[in-house]
Amino acid sequence: MVNKLRKMVYPFSFGFLCAGLYSALYSPSAEAADNPPWVSPIAVSPLASDGSTVSKDVQISVTAGDDTGVSKVEFYSANGGYLIGTRTSSPFTIKWSTDPWVPDGEQTIRVIAYDKSGQRAGASRKVYIQNDKTAPSAPSNLQTTGKAANSISLEWTAAKDNVGVVVYEIYHDQVLVGSSTGTSFTLKDLNPGTTYQLSVKAKDRAGNLSAVSNILNESTSPTVQDLPPT
């Protein structure tokens, strides 16, 4: 009687176990997850020494990957507003011609990688476009606002530029002696009772230098021992 029960139960138990194992291994819930793609930080070249300024033809590159494969990578300027181009296979690199199509100023580059199921991942990077060839106007109305035995304080009217002035250069006898990001400057460590020929030039982000301002001949104050007797 016992042997008869074994024959009835064991085959059923083994078959049930196999069916359960097959169901666990091949059911949809046990399949590998479809993860979204990944994309590296954006590489841009060539770059100016400041690490952000670009001009003319620029190369944009990323590395991208996915567990099922990358279907395409899109490259955008204007923070995603303008499609530069698309790559469907590695290397994911594209040329961006900024001159004369892209206006000077800050731009955000965006890159979006897609996998075969439509999932996506993105990266962005800010750059500064500088194709400007126009020099600023000359600073004007250079004048003295104060002086002492060893210093002269200056101010002037700001120059104008199509992109923007970034620095003013101060000259003495056509030799650069200082710089200012504003419209004033104080020359220090000067000699008492000495006349200085002073001028200012404006420089924009592209390095374009303006014509010279009006020339100012100004003297430091004499010291007490330099004053004539009364």
Distance in angstroms (rounded) separating the CA atoms of residues 149 and 132: 42
Average pLDDT of the residues in 58-83: 95
Evaluate if residue 131 carries a pLDDT over 60. yes
Report the alpha-carbon angle 93-94-98, nearest 5.
145
Residue 154's Cβ-side half-sphere holds a number of Cα atoms within 13 Å equal to 36
The set of residues, in sequence order, having a beta carbon less than 8 Å from that of 215 and lying 6+ positions away, is: 142, 197, 198, 199
- Which residue(s) pair with 120 in the sheet? 114
* Strands 38-39 and 64-65, sheet pairing: antiparallel
Distance in angstroms (rounded) separating the CA atoms of residues 135 and 164: 10
Residue 130 pLDDT level (bands cut at 50, 70, 90): confident
Q: Which residue has the higher pLDDT, 72 or 32?
A: 72
Distance in angstroms (rounded) separating the CA atoms of residues 107 and 98: 11
Distance in angstroms (rounded) separating the CA atoms of residues 169 and 159: 12
Q: CA-CA distances (angstroms) from residue 112 to 74, 81, 160? A: 5, 13, 39
pTM of the model: 0.58
Average pLDDT of the residues in 141-164: 95
When mean pLDDT is compared across 15-29, 190-204, 216-230, the lowest value belongs to 15-29
Q: Which residue has the higher pLDDT, 34 or 125?
A: 125
pLDDT of residue 30: 46
Contact 124, 110 (CB under 8 A): yes
Distance in angstroms (rounded) separating the CA atoms of residues 185 and 197: 15
DSSP string, 146-169: EE-SS-EEEEEEPP--SS-EEEEE
Domain boundaries, the chain: 38-129, 140-225
pLDDT of residue 155: 98
Distance in angstroms (rounded) separating the CA atoms of residues 211 and 202: 8
pLDDT of residue 23: 53
Evaluate if residue 13 carries a pLDDT over 90. no
Residue 12 pLDDT level (bands cut at 50, 70, 90): very low
When mean pLDDT is compared across 21-35, 108-122, 196-210, the lowest value belongs to 21-35
The set of residues, in sequence order, having a beta carbon less than 8 Å from that of 213 and lying 6+ positions away, is: 138, 139, 140, 142, 156, 199, 200, 201
- Which residue(s) pair with 152 in the sheet? 147, 187
pLDDT tens per residue across span 154-184? 999 999 998 889 999 999 999 999 999 999 9
Evaluate if residue 36 carries a pLDDT over 60. yes
140-225 is classed in which CATH architecture? Sandwich (2.60)
How high is the mean pLDDT of the chain?
A: 87
pLDDT tens per residue across span 180-204? 999 999 999 999 999 999 999 999 9
DSSP string, 186-211: EE-SPPTT-EEEEEEEEEETT--BPP
Instruction: Give the residue from 140, 159, 158 showing the smallest Cα distance to 208.
Output: 159
CATH 2.60.40.10 holds for 38-129: yes
